[in-house]
Amino acid sequence: MHLQRLELRRIELDLVTPFRTSFGTQTRRDILLLHVTTDEGEGWGECVAMTEPVYSAEFVDAAALVIAEHFWPTLTAGGAVSAADVATRLDPYAGHPMAKAALEAAVLDAELRAAGVNLHAYLGGRRDHIPSGVSVGIFDTLDELLGQVQGYVDDGYARIKLKIEPGWDVEPVRLVRELIGPEMGLQVDANTAYGRTDADHLRRLDDYDLLLIEQPLPEEDILGHARLAAAIETPVCLDESIVSLQTAEDAIELGAAEIINIKPGRVGGYLEARRIHDLCVDRDVPVWCGGMVETGIGRAANAALAALPGFTLPGDISAASRFYHRDIVTEPITVHDGEVAVPEGPGMGFELDHDFIDGITTSTTTLDAP
């Protein structure tokens, strides 16, 4: 395809409830959407970078700038392009995987829509429904936590994930395990909140039959995760540490990743995410699809990715109503009997609610190809 125009659209959406993790509390999402027009049609992508560089070094203002000033001019200077070319053309630029992933997603959506192909089929997904887990933040009180978890149990989710941090870990886990019973899947996510000296404390979580403990140590501490994995029974899952196929391979080789959470935005796009999936299948390492509080654009694409056979654990692809009063797509993701349906329409499988998007747009920048 020949790329003709890129629209960078900023929207704001309030969260249903504040979402607190070890790196801060979100009450509103400032979201960058990418709208690509080509000689064959159009496509949309969503950048998952947060407002501030707290989860990663990326943040939404920087993503918009690097796309406008560097990525788009480079991508359009090379003639016709396919989604598979995007990563190669942008490889000279260090970092910014979330910005690269958003641009690749928009091009991929346009390419697949023009061909009448769904992302699910393109990636090689084998299921039309996938199990749905829900991510539960940190609360001021244990009673608030238990009330929220009970609501998600009543909603039929297949798995509960608890955000933890020092001072909010063993007791919340114990009470939630008592509440949901021994059969329901339960896991925890530390978002890098612990250090190498916390192994004895984290070993106390072994009593609660957790599916995994996600990213307990800092992103760069692969060796520390390997040592922790050898010291505790709960499987160690890496999230923030996995930024590419190479880092995934190294972490598996070192014994630091017994399970991997694949987030397309964090690894540079859905095509790299599929390569990591294939590696993990080859190495017999379970994977699951994490979430970044996406709108229906990213949520639909994540569901397509999670339909691949190596995704054997429920991901964070919850109902859109988990985070937003109203989604930006016409048919938001919902949960039925613990599962979500994989969108089957062309491209990423969604249709946008353009009137609603126009009403929540805070800025728009339009860039034409040279």
Catalytic residues: 163, 263
Supply the Cα-derived Rg of the chain in whole angstroms. 20
Classified as helix, coil or strand, 153 is helix
How far is residue 169's CA from residue 190's CA, in Å, rounded to a whole number?
A: 9
Nearest C-alpha neighbor of 346 from the set 300, 277, 296, 310: 300
Long-range CB contacts for residues 124-129, cutoff 8 Å, separation at least 24: 124/274, 124/308, 125/304, 125/305, 125/306, 125/307, 125/308, 125/342, 126/307, 126/308, 126/309, 127/307, 127/342, 128/307, 128/341, 128/342, 128/344, 129/339, 129/340, 129/341, 129/342
Q: Where are the beta strands (DSSP E) in 39-163?
A: 41-47, 129-131, 133-136, 159-163
The pair of structure tokens assigned to 354 is 């353009």
Percentages (nearest 5) of helix, strand, coil residues in the chain: 40, 25, 35
The pair of structure tokens assigned to 62 is 């920087």
Nearest C-alpha neighbor of 198 from the set 210, 187, 213, 209: 213
